[in-house]
Amino acid sequence: MSTQLEQARKGIITKEMEEAASTEEQSAEYIRDMIAIGKAVIPNNINRKGRSVAIGAGLRTKVNASIGTSSDIKDMKTEVEKALAAEEAGADTLMELSVGGELDEIRKEVLGASALSVGSVPLYQAFAEAIKKYKDPNKLTEEMLFDVIERQCAGGISFMAVHCGITQITLERLNKQGYRYGGLVSRGGSYMVGWMLANQKENPLYEKFDRVVEIFKKYDCVLSLGNGLRAGAIHDSLDRAQVQELVINCELASIGQDMGCQMMCEGPGHLPLDDIEANVKLQKRMSGDAPFYVLGPITTDVAAGYDHISAAIGAAQAARYGADLICYVTPAEHLALPNKDDVIEGVRAARIAARVGDMVKLGHTERDREMGKARRDLDWEGQYRLGMFGDKAREIRNSRFPDEADTCTMCGSFCALDNVSEHFSKCLQNGAKA
């Protein structure tokens, strides 16, 4: 079975490329060409038919929603409900990141319920199984780790964050810079660092990278190079440990592509606004424009409860400069396991951010122009139709309906648009800016 990348290099347009093109302002030929040169991917799996979505250069910025149990809250039914809520809210992909409960069963239920391409982080399950078996995560064996990767791929996972770039060299940078303000915030990354230090061994995901790639190729799964040393505080942004891991991941992305595997790189994390452009451009330059998947980035460390807003600000900037996939952040970030309402708010905030970025990156402004005219003309049905969240807009207006039906209760009879429209009616009749 050839991967999407291998088929693209042969000039083949797959059914997945055709399906992905149907939701883009690009042709299937364009998507094929971008995949062939490693600038786009389609998260896929030969064992499961999910909704095909292309991620990469010249394409709409996509939004990922992450769900999953914790060691405290292990309700599988709730996670399935959250998966469906994320899909309905407009997420493009989903990540199932459970660490508590029966992990294989939870993942199976989510895969069966959602039509989206689903990703995972295999280190979570690998270390959870080591803890269950040995009472010690650092007794994880290499074979247990590769078994989990194979098992998750065989079960239908379409893309996977694998922490290959955490190496002895990366840890040396972390040690020499004197650790960090925000510590290590990646769950998978922190466990791998602990394993390497306890066992005094190189990361097997790096040391045996060829084996990782061959598993992914077998199922045509996208290998997303995880950002295990991402900054968890803005004062750690672009520190030497993070950049060292990014350098290694970009090298591995090229190696994986040469082997015929679809590859993505992942990014931070917490970044101040003025570091975002540099981070995106650094990844794009070093990786040859491999798709870039970013968490947030969260742009201030002091907005807990509203981190979805802080992250949306960062995500809009990241998308503007070339990020391809945005992992949402919910209002529960740093505080609690997200519930269904948190998931919906997180997806909506990230979708707004992606659109704001695409207005610059792709020049997608036509819908905004039409919305401007609909507001000028007090065309409320047009506004609901053009709005990203028209049902929500209708609900808010109807909850405080105005005395004058063509206005809203913000201004009522003092509506600026209504007050001047008669003076410009002749211009509109003559076609000016109509």
> Do 101 and 236 sit in the same domain of this protein?
yes
- Identity (one letter) of the amino acid at 196? M
> Do 347 and 395 sit in the same domain of this protein?
no
Would you say residue 67 lies in a domain? yes
The owner of tokens 């077998």 is 218
Would you say residue 173 lies in a domain? yes
**Angle between helices 240-258 and 276-287 in degrees, nearest 10:** 30
> Do 101 and 157 sit in the same domain of this protein?
yes
> Do 106 and 245 sit in the same domain of this protein?
yes
Would you say residue 159 lies in a domain? yes
Domain that holds residue 376: 366-429
Q: In the predicted model, what is the mean pLDDT of residues 266-289? A: 97
The owner of tokens 């290590």 is 184
> Do 351 and 377 sit in the same domain of this protein?
no
**What local confidence, expressed as pLDDT, does residue 398 receive?**
95
| 24 CA to centre of own chain | 18
> Do 285 and 377 sit in the same domain of this protein?
no
Q: Is 173:240 a contact under the CB 8 Å cutoff?
A: yes
**What local confidence, expressed as pLDDT, does residue 429 receive?**
66
Would you say residue 434 lies in a domain? no
pLDDT tens digits, one per residue of 140-165:
999 999 999 999 999 999 999 999 99
Q: For the chain, what's the residue count?
A: 434
pLDDT tens digits, one per residue of 75-85:
999 999 999 99
Could you give the CA distance from residue 221 to residue 262 in angstroms, rounded to a whole number?
7
Would you say residue 334 lies in a domain? yes
> Do 341 and 274 sit in the same domain of this protein?
yes
> Do 383 and 285 sit in the same domain of this protein?
no
pLDDT tens digits, one per residue of 170-207:
999 999 999 999 999 999 999 999 999 999 999 999 99
> Do 330 and 392 sit in the same domain of this protein?
no
Q: In the predicted model, what is the mean pLDDT of residues 120-144? A: 97
pLDDT tens digits, one per residue of 20-52:
999 999 999 999 999 999 999 999 999 998 899
Q: Is 120:107 a contact under the CB 8 Å cutoff?
A: yes
Please work out, in degrees rounded to the nearest 5, the angle formed at the alpha carbon of residue 56 by the alpha carbons of 54 and 61: 85
> Do 374 and 355 sit in the same domain of this protein?
no
The domain boundary, picked from 306, 336, 361, lies at 361
**What local confidence, expressed as pLDDT, does residue 257 receive?**
98
**What local confidence, expressed as pLDDT, does residue 432 receive?**
62
pLDDT tens digits, one per residue of 309-353:
999 999 999 999 999 999 999 999 999 999 999 999 999 999 999
